[in-house]
Amino acid sequence: MAHLITAEYHMGEHPTNPVKNTRYKTATGKTWADDVHPITNQLVVHTYAEADGRTNAIFEPYMEPMYDDDPHRGREYATAPNYRKWRFEYEADIENWFHTEVSNVVLSAWARYPSILQTSHNKPLSAEPISQNVDATYSARINGARVPVIIGEFKRNIIKTTVWQSGNVKGEGQKALSRELRG
């Protein structure tokens, strides 16, 4: 019988399967984002780059306090992703990696209390009509209505780490990305 480990344990781990990053870049500049103001205020960045090129994040001190039902989610049983090798060449490769290595682990904690629905390449849940699709939407049914919990758009090697970690995204070709993120 397999040893059962909790979702909380796996969410505290970094993905361990090997990744070959081709360093190809995604272009940005969606026309709908032209009407969105870019991020111009000083940012508070919670990530830092390691000497080996990995990026680490420190979120815990800045997160909301735990809710009463969070311990129930953390105690849900979960398994680590199976071993496999990844190659990041297209956005779809990164999307598959994310759903396998991150989303599947996190969603094991959201099987109940409430359950989360993941959809891909759909329109964002919104009262206003939106003509664009997003790569991933995670939603929950709350008081009878389906509401978004988080949405995601996958890009390849587009963030200039030093620019964002400086807390100022003016220039350096990051303005269009900041508009998309804000939008």
Sketch the domain layout of the chain as residue ranges. 5-182
Given a cut of 80, whether residue 32 has pLDDT beyond it is: no
Q: Convert the pLDDT of each residue in 33-74 to its tens digit.
A: 788 888 877 777 788 778 887 777 887 777 778 888 889 999
Q: How many CB atoms lie within 10 A of CB 44?
A: 7
Alpha carbon 109 to chain centroid distance? 16
Rounded distance between C-alpha atoms, residue 23 and residue 39, angstroms: 25
Smallest Cα–Cα separation from 78: which of 176, 153, 180, 6?
6
Query: Do the Cβ atoms of 86 and 15 come closer than 8 Å?
Result: no
Q: How far is CA 155 from CA 83, 94, 96, in A?
A: 24, 8, 12
The strand pairing partners of 78, in sequence order, are 5
Mean of the pLDDT values across residues 10-25? 89
Given a cut of 50, whether residue 1 has pLDDT beyond it is: no
Given a cut of 90, whether residue 118 has pLDDT beyond it is: yes
∠ Cα 47 52 53 (to 5°): 50
Confidence tier at 17 by pLDDT (50, 70, 90): very high
Query: Do the Cβ atoms of 140 and 7 come closer than 8 Å?
Result: no
Given a cut of 60, whether residue 2 has pLDDT beyond it is: no
Q: Convert the pLDDT of each residue in 154-176 to its tens digit.
A: 888 888 877 887 777 876 678 88
Mean of the pLDDT values across residues 76-103? 93
3-state secondary structure of 73: helix
Length of the chain measured in residues: 183
For tokens 């100022």, what's the residue?
Answer: 168
For the record, the structure tokens of 105 come out as 């682990």
For tokens 């969070």, what's the residue?
Answer: 70
